Amino acid sequence: MTFHPDTLCPFCGLGCGDIAIDRDESGIVPRPTGCPQADRLFRRSAVVPTDARMSGAAVSCDVAIAEAVRLLGASRAPLIAGLAADVDGVLAALSLAERIGATVDHERSDALFRNLTVLRRFGWSVTTLAELRNRCDLVLVAGPDPAAAFPRLWERWVAPEPAFVPGGARSVVFLGGQPLPETVQCLGSRIEESGLDGSAGQDLASIVGRLRTALAGRTAEDDPMTALAARLRAARYAVVIWAAGLFDGPQPDLIVEGLVRLVRSVDGTTRCAGLPLSGADNLIGANQACGWRTGFPLRTGFDGGAPLHDPERFAWQARLRDADVTLWVSAFRPEIPPFTTDGAVIMLAPPEMAVTPEPALFIPVGTPGIDHGGDVFRADSVVALHADGLIDRGLPSVADVIGRMLMALDQPTTVKEAAGC
């Protein structure tokens, strides 16, 4: 039995670095963290099937790669999606996409694009988790409690006493949403009612609009938003947090734009910053890598070799309808969203994944931070973290597998093209 303290968790995007893992011959088990994701996803058996499968039949990895290359090489409209991998895996996927003219997208990019649309059109003023923890005296939570997606957000970043707030007091106000029971337990009396928790049927967009009206000084004195606007203006460092992936209703990007404008109007006189959270399974890292490699965010394809970005057309759900071959990459968790396609599916996923219908090809891969080391980005987008491997189960990384596909793809042409160099 070996013990791994301070293990980095790559799953939800908060980048908790304090997970305790026990390892013995049967596998790895986390000590309870209070986070359902870490508690579940760090539990892995040592013995797992490592064979690839072709139409359900076990084949060697070499055969599987040769078949993948055949399918991808012949594809006229390939899609690389899921894209849940460490940074190296994503970069390998981008190289492959450039090579075969595929479009790329991450399984969870919907949440990201609700924010990116506003960032690219308007810009924003935001902050990071350590600033929240140390500087923030007023937290305004817009919409549903982000703890639903980021379980230890409050425990790790808001419950500790802020270093730069005199007296150490801070308040957490929920606007257009309600705290989860675990959040109430964690934050206790720090939580305050805004008077508009969304339960009376008001939608978030109009609640944010009302608060902005109040900030402009155009609401009645007894309007709850008037008092909240005054609180924001009086705070030393207010942080407006949202998890856009949890917004329901039409045009969620308009809510984000309202929040960004709200932050800007407060930040003109006192300090106020947004904290848009999105990013499970290295969503942010995938977007960052796509950004530096192509100059564009996710939902980018290659058109005649040059990158081409289209946030609507190249969303994986839309692209799936036309794709003749889909390479689905999901290294972090043995789960996939429901999807149907008429094309062939090549799946790179942990061996624990149960898939129906059986894809044309299934190649088991390791999970970054469990089977091998890998870099992942935190949900606040600034901090990249390296998650070390914990256990050798004989599973290759996504970068290994795609790297072998790239080499195989180039094999027949190497001699011819090298002569030109």
Partner 1 sequence: MLTKLTGGRLFDPANGRHGEVEDLWLHDDRVVADPGPGAIPDAVHDVTGKVVMAGAIDIHSHIAGGKVNLARLLMGEEHEQHRFAGHACGCDRIGGGSGIATPSTHTTGARYIEMGFTAAFEPAMLGSNARHAHLEMSDIPYIDTGGYLVLGNDDFLLDLIATNAGQAAVNDYVAWMLTATQSLAVKVVNPGGINAFKFNARTLDLDEAGPHYGVTPRSVLTVLARAVYELGLPHPLHVHGCNLGVPGNVATTLDTIQAASGLPMHMTHIQFHSYDTAGDRKFSSGAAALAEAINRTPTLSVDIGQVMFGQTVTASADTMAQRHTAPLAHPRKWLAMDIECDAGCGVVPFRYRDKSYVNALQWAIGLELFLLLDDPWRVFLTTDHPNGAPFTFYPELIRLLMDRDYRLAKLAEIHPDAPANTTLGSIAREYTLAEIAVMTRAAPARILGLADRGHLAPGASADVTVYSDLPDRRAMFERPDLVFKSGRLVVRDGALVAMARGCTHVVRPGFDDLIERRIARHFDERIGLPIKHFRIRDAEIRHGAGPQLHPCRRREVP
Q: Which is nearer to partner 1, 349 or 390 (CB)?
A: 390
Spatial distance between the Cα atoms of 384 and 134, rounded to a whole number of angstroms: 20
Closest contact distance (angstroms) between CB of 295 and partner 1 is: 3
In the complex with partner 1, the residue whose CB is nearer, 20 or 353, is: 20
Specify the residue, 146 or 176, whose C-beta has the smaller distance to partner 1. Answer: 146
Query: Residue 387: phi, psi to the nearest 5?
Result: -95, 120
Two tokens at 144? 């549903």
Q: How far apart are CA 382 and CA 156, in angstroms?
A: 17
Strands 52-54 and 361-364: antiparallel
Report which of 127, 221, 129, 228 is spatially closest to residue 176, judged by C-alpha positions. 228
Confirm if 363 and 61 have CB atoms less than 8 A apart.
yes
390: tokens are 């914990």
Question: Is 116 or 175 the residue whose CB approaches partner 1 more closely?
Answer: 116
In sequence order, what are the residues at sequence separation of 6 or more whose Cβ sits closer than 8 angstroms to the Cβ of residue 368?
10, 85, 86, 89, 282, 331, 332, 374, 375, 376, 387, 397
The residue among 339, 389, 338, 341 whose CA lies nearest residue 365 is 389
Shorter beta-carbon distance to partner 1: residue 57 or 306: 306
Nearer to partner 1, 355 or 384 (CB): 384
- Chain-centre distance of CA 328, in angstroms? 16
Smaller CB separation from partner 1, 239 or 323: 239
Please give the helix or strand (H or E) that residue 273 lies within, else none: strand 271-276
CA nearest neighbour of 142 among 116, 108, 115: 115
- 3 in helix, strand or coil? strand
- Give the shortest CB-137-to-partner 1 separation in angstroms: 12
CB of 104 to partner 1, least distance (A): 14
Q: How far is the CB of 373 from partner 1 (least distance, A)?
A: 8
Least distance from C-beta 292 to partner 1, angstroms?
Answer: 5
Cβ at position 242, least distance to partner 1 in Å = 16
Angle (deg, nearest 10), helices 283-294 and 87-100: 50
Q: Residue 307 Cβ, how far from partner 1 at the closest point, in Å?
A: 6
Q: How far is the CB of 385 from partner 1 (least distance, A)?
A: 6
> Least distance from C-beta 121 to partner 1, angstroms?
7
**DSSP three-state, residue 262:** helix
Encode 216-245: b = buried (16+ Cβ within 10 Å), e = exposed.
Answer: eeebeeebbbbebbebbeebbbbbbbbbbb
Q: Considering the complex, state which of residue 40 and residue 122 has its C-beta at the smaller distance from partner 1.
A: 122
In whole angstroms, how close is the CB of 160 to partner 1 at the nearest point? 8
| Shortest Å distance, C-beta 120 to partner 1 | 5
- Closer Cβ to partner 1, 129 or 246, answer by number: 129
Amino acid at 357: P
Q: Taking a C-beta distance cutoff of 8 angstroms, is the pair 241, 208 a contact?
A: no
Q: Is 47 helix (H, G, I), strand (E, B) or coil?
A: coil
Q: Which is nearer to partner 1, 39 or 267 (CB)?
A: 267
Q: Which of 54, 38, 23 is nearest to 333 (CA)?
A: 38
Task: Give the residue with the Cβ less far from partner 1, 354 or 419.
Answer: 419
Q: Beta-carbon neighbour count of residue 42 at 10 Å?
A: 27
